[in-house]
Structure 1
Amino acid sequence: MSKYWDAIIIGGGAAGLFCAGIAGQLGKKVLVLDHADVLCEKIRISGGGRCNFTNLHSSPANFLSLNPNFVKSALARYPAKEFIKLVQSYRIDYHEKHQGQLFCDESAHQIIQMLLSECKKGGVIVKHPVTVQEIKQETGGWSVSTSAGIEKSKSVVMATGGLPVPAIGATAYALDIAKQFELMVVDPRPALVPLSFTADAFANLNELAGLSLPIRISSGSKGARYGACRFNEDVLLTHKGLSGPAVLQASSYWIEGEAVHIDWLGAVEVGSHFNCDELFNNEDNRLKLTETILASVLPQRLARSFAQQKNLLGRKWAEVSKKDRQALKELITNWSVKPAGTLGWKKAEVMLGGVDTKELDGQSMMSKKHPGLFFIGECVDVTGHLGGHNFQWAWASGHACAQAL
């Protein structure tokens, strides 16, 4: 006969192991099952191998969900500072990069070892590779049939993540289980993913590949599933179009068929006294060339390209009509391009959509219809912005679940 567990956690990634470690240390008998030969591959490859494990400024405003209020309870009870304390207790050195993003100084492997150590402290049993074949609700508990036998438990926690990076074992298993138990699922799609563009969209910029600069990017619309966004981030011009953090952020809000809008001067305004209107109306610039004026706030190659697009290259500012100045300003501050699509699950960092939060209790992550069935981490319809917020959701939702267990 198998041991009777307090909780069986399906998925040995960030949310699953973190939840298991806490629950185990609270005195629960916990079993973690995972189908992978090597655990935590998504952690290992994250942040360029250094794991952007949280963000100093993580708040409900950094998450997309059909119910934006759902994240508030879990994030309030386990904010970023609590995970940072845990990291510090393991003497893992880290640094802040951009807008509160925290990375390990050495390796993402340190975070993985920390999670496994926390599980060990709690007496958690981790079995892998094990395939889960069936999950059944029984009187007073749950039965989980696996390739290694049948396990019985008071509770089952689904922590199998989402669909991105299928090469490292990503599946829709948590969503399949949700549907099996008649829970609503918000259709998933790739997020924090590069956007693809047609060659025509970049006819005027295809010689600028390799150029990177901070911009302000806007995407989505008020009536869309997750609304609209505006980010101040870096963009990278490539031979195929646009890439970089700005495009990844915009992709989460982008809707097929719509354009994304770029203010190439927007980021210049942040934290400076720069005024766009003054730049285009300043008569002290009368004798300067148009591209010279633009190059005072933009990379020289980009400045020349914009001047050329409006046939103003080599022309003194005094020779440029008010109408042409306005057209140039509109081009630069509200540049519009329509993506052809995304690069899909292979290139996506996270998943939009998942188990509908209407089905779950925000205090515990438990199904309202099926007591003892929990969903945590990426498989829930909660998606963070770029920069450590998705890991923070893994920690916060895992903590909420562990407390409830």
Structure 2
Amino acid sequence: MNVPVFIEIGFEEQSEELRSYFKSLGAEISLERAEDKREDVRQIISVCDACFKLEADSEIEGVLNGIVSMIPGLADTDKEELVLSFCEKLSKASGQQHGMVALKVLWSLFMCLDDDSKMKFHVYYFLVKVAGETHELSTVYKDMATVKQMFQKCPPTDEQMQKLYRLLHEMLLLNGRSDDAARVMIELLGTYTTENASQAKEDAQRCIVASLADPNTFLMDHLLILKPVKALEGQPIHQLLKIFVSEQLESYVKFYEKNQAFVDGLGLKHQDSLRKMRLLSFMQIAENRSEIPLAELGQTLDIGDNEIEEFLIDVIKTRLVRAKISQGDGVVYVSSTMHRTFSPSDWNHLYNLLQGWKTNLNTVKDHLSTIAATQVELMHERS
């Protein structure tokens, strides 16, 4: 986004023009300026949404940017209430036809504030909300590292960051960025300590439900080590997560039969959960087997003969499993599969493999150095 360049005009003149303009739109505002700047701007902001009745986005943007140009002239102690009020007015337009205008004006306001202004965070919060609701989130959000760097000069409080994480999670899901949403939720849960983890139960449950509901999220064992998730141990939501992390389809079916009202109350769709559990169960079966009879899969995963091929095609499309279907042999040939969980023994195995790889590389390097040195000696002898 580009930052607008405002026309040089005095504060008083700008106020008079805006008052007259909003009055012409039918807003209830006096043509007489208030005694002090703070009250003057407050009155103008209180009726600024009157311009949303206009059809031309360019005209609306110009008027609202006029208000933006007045804010830097206010005392710092006066800005917080007025900036928040202005942002609230703009955010209400995001679900209407002028959402993009609101987004541009918020960006102008964001860029007008000093980097060390605590108001910059509040404006960014509304930027995320409006950008998310207008499906333009990529214009204001890249990743969490960029966001944290943005507020280095005036770091937000933990509570403010938690509020932003929750909003980002919601908007990222709305914009189809489920992987980024999961990363943000993990960042949120990571802000809690052992001492206050119990306070994050609602966030932890929201994180679990989002992961279970997302059709593209299959690996969830990393959630179990988060302190707020551990605080849920013994509760149905934690039991359900453990089923999706490491158990088979049969366990989910039994859990659902006993806790149908609870699962449905979470907003999870049973058929979608069945699909995911079938896929996860297949991954677990394929971890140590390269050949699996179709009949066995159909029975284990409770899939009819006429549906098994379509299911396996869906599995292969996830790229979590590499396999080929042989209808003639009645077998699925598995070449590789992603592990559902990564235990300490798996990490040790990976460590040993990397250490062996490193040793082999060093051996190759030593051999090449020896060969190179020998060649150099031969060249010197011949010369």
TM-score, normalised via structure 2 length? 0.25
Higher relative contact order (CA 8 A, sep 6+): 1
Give the helix-richer structure, 1 or 2. Answer: 2
TM-score, normalised via structure 1 length? 0.24
